[in-house]
Homo-oligomer: A and B are copies of this chain.
Amino acid sequence: MYSYSNLLGFTTAVLERMGFRPEEARRCADVFVAAELRGISTHGVIRLGDYFKLWQAGRLNPSPDIRTVHETPGTAVVDGDGTIGMLPSLYAMELAMEKARQVGTGWVSVRNSCNFGIAGYYAMLAARQDMIGIALTNASPLVAPTFSAQAMLGTNPIAVAIPTEQQPMFVADFATTPINRGKFTLAAKKGEKLGFGYAQTREGIPSDDPTILERGGTMLPLGGDRDHGSHKGYCLGALVDIFSAVLSGANYGPFVPPMVSFLPVLQESVGSGLGHFFGAMRVDAFMPAETFRKRMDHWIETMRGATPAAGHDRVLIPGDVERACEERSMIEGITLLPQVVRDMEALAVHFSLDFHED
């Protein structure tokens, strides 16, 4: 088991060794470890290895000059100067909140960035300030639009966090595909089939093979097939891509620079790096904040009060599962997969650091 402070300290140290300023390294590290705490380990310290490879290839700028390149009272575009995704994302969400304080809402699109970890992290920053927080990002092209055989979009997640009074915060944070890529890897390791509605072959024929992505296959959007609404999942992925990248000047669609090693880096570019989009909406820009928070509590209580379906105990509220995991992990510690432990140990050796369980 690894404690929060152990993983935070180690991740901070690795980033410092790459040349990040100590305070910035610590802020980034907190996003990596938050993913572990919340049980979203596919976006946790495992990604440190991807960043290490980018850094070795000279594709990661540890001393960025993050700049606002365009703005109005309620909007901005931020250039991340080719650094790790967390830094321009934290800058952009703070800017969105500052704009919301001035005019009610703030909206910031980011270019020239990389993978930013879990989208929900940024949305929750706003919700702690009595604002509705929104975070979107595009990602490596792995998903085929409806009727396409070709991967044109990422798993492009949407996160929205909403403040409450007594109830825990509402936190929706989900990829716009039925399952994430981690489930493919897990099924492959166990030698299991995926089931249908998740993937197709390189010809666009439905497939339940979890190794299909490595052989030109593609993920399907939320909905799975046209009859079950995959065109809606495709719309969602498209909107995330457009808000994050068309609007900011980042690469969109198939031009997004891949973070996964089995996809090639394209020569053609339509912008800088990958893109994100952040929003902050002051709830008191609509009604008194306390009234809103109490209405939100009642909304949550109403949903929790729904009669459960046969075979189920209760209706969950978005964020329930991750929060329970976070509370447990803070007490019991965080479990890392053996492969992740080996990756961290290799980083420790490379940078002459210690890495061990608490």
Point out residues on A near B: beta carbons under 8 Å: 70, 72-75, 77, 102-105, 107, 109, 144-150, 152, 160, 162, 170, 172, 174-179, 195, 197-198, 200, 203-205, 222-224, 227-229, 231-236, 238-239, 241-242, 246-249, 252-255, 270, 281-283, 285-287, 292, 295-296, 298-299, 302-303, 306-316, 318
Instruction: Given the known inter-chain contacts A231-B316, A232-B222, A246-B296, please indicate yes or no for A105 contacting B148, CB distance below 8 A.
Output: no
Instruction: List 30 A-B pairs, Cβ < 8 Å.
Output: A73-B74, A73-B104, A75-B105, A77-B286, A103-B103, A104-B107, A107-B285, A147-B314, A147-B316, A149-B310, A150-B306, A150-B307, A152-B303, A152-B315, A172-B238, A174-B229, A178-B227, A178-B232, A204-B312, A205-B310, A222-B229, A222-B233, A223-B223, A224-B228, A231-B316, A231-B318, A246-B292, A247-B287, A249-B287, A252-B302
Instruction: Given the known inter-chain contacts A103-B72, A107-B104, A150-B307, please indicate yes or no for A170 contacting B314, CB distance below 8 A.
Output: no
Contacts of A236 in B (CB 8 A): 236
When all copies of this chain in the complex are counted, the total is 2
Tell me the nearest residue of chain B to A221, going by C-beta.
B229
Instruction: Given the known inter-chain contacts A74-B105, A148-B308, A162-B242, please indicate yes or no for A270 contacting B295, CB distance below 8 A.
Output: yes
Contacts of A316 in B (CB 8 A): 146-147, 231
Contacts of A314 in B (CB 8 A): 147
Q: Would you call A174 and B104 a contact (CB within 8 A)?
A: no
Query: In the complex, what's the smallest C-beta–C-beta distance from A299 to chain B, in angstroms?
Result: 5
Give the docked Cα–Cα distance between A231 and B172 (Å).
10
Q: Would you call A318 and B235 a contact (CB within 8 A)?
A: yes
Given contacts A147-B314, A148-B303, 14 further A-B contacts (CB under 8 A): A73-B74, A75-B286, A105-B107, A109-B286, A144-B306, A147-B308, A174-B235, A204-B307, A222-B233, A223-B223, A224-B228, A242-B296, A249-B287, A249-B295
Query: In the complex, what's the smallest C-beta–C-beta distance from A35 to chain B, in angstroms?
Result: 18
Q: Would you call B310 and A74 a contact (CB within 8 A)?
A: no
Contacts of A254 in B (CB 8 A): 302
Contacts of A281 in B (CB 8 A): 75, 107
Give the docked Cα–Cα distance between A357 and B176 (Å).
44
Q: Would you call A246 and B310 a contact (CB within 8 A)?
A: no
Give the docked Cα–Cα distance between A233 and B306 (Å).
17
Give the docked Cα–Cα distance between A195 and B298 (Å).
35
Give the 8 A-B CB pairs with smallest separation, nearest first: A204-B309, A72-B104, A74-B104, A178-B229, A75-B104, A172-B235, A75-B285, A148-B306
